[in-house]
Chain A
Amino acid sequence: MSFLQIRNLEKTFGNVKVLKGIDLEVEEGGFLVLVGPSGCGKSTLLNSIAGLEAITGGSISIGGKAIDGLHPSQRDIAMVFQSYALYPNMTVAGNIGFGMEIRGVAKPERDKAIATVAEMLQIGHLLDRKPSQLSGGQRQRVAIGRALVRKPQVFLFDEPLSNLDAKLRVDMRTEIKRLHHRMGTTIVYVTHDQIEAMTLATKIAVLKDGVLQQSGTPAEIYNNPANLFVADFMGSPAMNLIPVTIKRNGSGVSISTPREEQDPLVLGVPNAPAGLSAHDGKEVIFGIRPEALTDRDGADRNAANVAESECLIEVVEPAGSDTFAVTRLGRKHVTARLRADANVAAGKKTKLAFNLDKAVFFDPASGLRIV
C-alpha cells in the first residue's frame, strides 16, 4: 500500500475544470516530482494535498488515513512556497517557531527545536534577523527550516528554487537531495526544471491541462514516454520527433522521410514494435533523442540496432562537452549530439548513426506511443 494516495482527484474553479481525475501514488520516503507546462494544475494539485484548496471530487490519503476535509494544519504536511512566504514582521526564529507557538508549545522546547533545525541548515547565525535582511538563498533555507521543524509526514515544495540564481539553485538542489536522504520523509515537489526533476525524483508525474499524462521513474519517463507530449516535454534538448512513412517489406519494417537537396532517408527498423506494421503506408512520428543520434565513432557500442545515413549538416553548435549538429529530416530540424571533437562542419555531409534501440514511435492522430 502506498503512502500518499490520490484517487480520481478533481478540482473546478467556477466552471473551469482544472484537475480532471488525477490518480497518483507515492511510496513512503518517495520523492514525487510534478512537472508540466505553466497553468496545467501543478500548484492546484499541491494545494489540494495541503488542504489549501477544497477539492471537488476524489480523495487523498496519507499513510492510509483519509485527509479529505481536514484543516491544513491537521494533515501532517509542511509546505515550502515559491516566494518563500516568510512572515515579514517576524525574525527568522519567529518564522520557524510560529507553528509551534500557535500550537502552544512551551518556549524552551520551541527554542530547542529551532536550534536543531537551524544547525541542520546552517542558519544559526541568522536567527535574530528579519527576512528582509536575508539573501535569496538564506530565505530559502529559512523557508525549508520552517517546514522541517514540523516533522511532517509529507513535504510539499512548490517550485522552491525557481527564484534563485543558477549556481545557488544547483547547491540547494543538492542540499534538498541530501535532506531527503537524511530524513527519509516523503516529498512532493513541483518544478519547471528538467534537471531538477531528473536528479531529485524517485517518481515523476507529467501533467497537461489537468490530466496526468504519465507517471513513473525518471528513467521510465525519459526512455519510454507514453505519448508525444511526454516525449517532447521531458529532456533538454528535446527529443527529435520526425514524421516518417512506414513501409512493410517481408517480415521487417522500414521508415522513410523526404529530405531537401538529398535522397529521402530510408532506414530499416529490425526491432520495430509489433504495432508499427499496422501503420503500413501511413505516417507516424519517429522519436529519437539527440544522444541516440551521433557520429559513427560516438555511437553506443552495445547497441544492437544502429542504422547510418549521410546527412547534410546545417548548423554546428559546440557546447563544450558535446557538439550539437542540426540537420533537417522531413521538414523538421533534427538535433544530433556528437562528441566534442567530432569532425563536422556546417554545409557538409556527415554520416550519422541512429541508435534504433532507443527509437520510439507515436501515432500522430492520438499522440499515443505505438508498442
Chain B
Amino acid sequence: MPEENGPIIEVKDLVVKYGDRTVLDNINFHVNRGETFVILGGSGCGKSTLLKNLVGLMRPHSGHILINGQDITEMTDVERVEVRKKLGMCFQASALFNSMSIGDNVALPLREHTKLEESTIDIMTKIKLELVGLGGFENYLPAELSGGMKKRAGLARAMAMDPEVIFYDEPSAGLDPIVAAGLDALIRKMQSTFNLTSIVVTHEMASVKLIADRVLMLLAGKVVGYGKLEEIEGSEHPFVKQFFDRRPDDESDNRDDYIKSLTGQDDD
C-alpha cells in the first residue's frame, strides 16, 4: 500500500491544452487527506478541465497527477478504472441518468462493481439517499426533482462506493442561497462524518468562507493564489483582492483587450 500520511493528491507541472490552446498552464498543488480543498476562479478559467484531469477523464499535455502516490497520467485505461473506484464526482449539471429512477442511479455502481445481494444493495441505496436528505425518493425520476435535490442525488450516487475523495463541480451553481447553503452544510457533514477528502470547484465566495480549509485560485489557467483560506484572504494579488471584494473589471475601451479578457484568447 502506498504511504498513508502523504498528500492524497499531488499535481506537478500540469499543462492541459485543447488543440493548440493552453487552458491550464503549469499547475502545481497538493491536497491533504481529510481536508476540504477549494478551487476558485472565474468562469472559463479551466476549473472543470482541472477536475476532469484529476479524475482521469482527460489526459494532460504534460505533467503528473498522483493519487495516493500512484501516477494516473502514466496508467492504462484499465488501471485507471481501479483508481476511480476510490473517487466520487458530483457534476455541475448533476449528470443523473435520466432513464433511471434515483434509486437505480445510486445502485448502479454497486450493481456493476460488487457481488452484493439485491436486498443489500437496496438497503445501501436507502442509506445513501437518507444521508443526503432524500430518504423516500428512490422511485422518483431525475426529471421530477428540483435542482438542489438533483445535486443531492448526484452526491448520493458519488458516495455509493464509499470513495476516499469526492469532487464537486460548482455544487451551488444555479441554486438559490438557501438551497446552496444546505449543500454547503452537506459537504461539511460528509467531510467531518467520513473524514472524506473534498475538492470543491466554485466561484461562490459565500460558500468558500464556509467550507474551505485551503484554496487554490486560478486566473486564465494559471495559479494566482494557493494556501490556507486566511492567507488567500490577505493576499496582495490584485485579481485575488478584486475577486474577494467582488469588484467588477475596470471598463476597457480597447475592444481587443476586452475580447481577450472574456475569452482568454486573441481575436483573429
B and A form one assembly: no
Chain B interfacial positions (CB closer than 8 Å to A): none
Chain A interfacial positions (CB closer than 8 Å to B): none
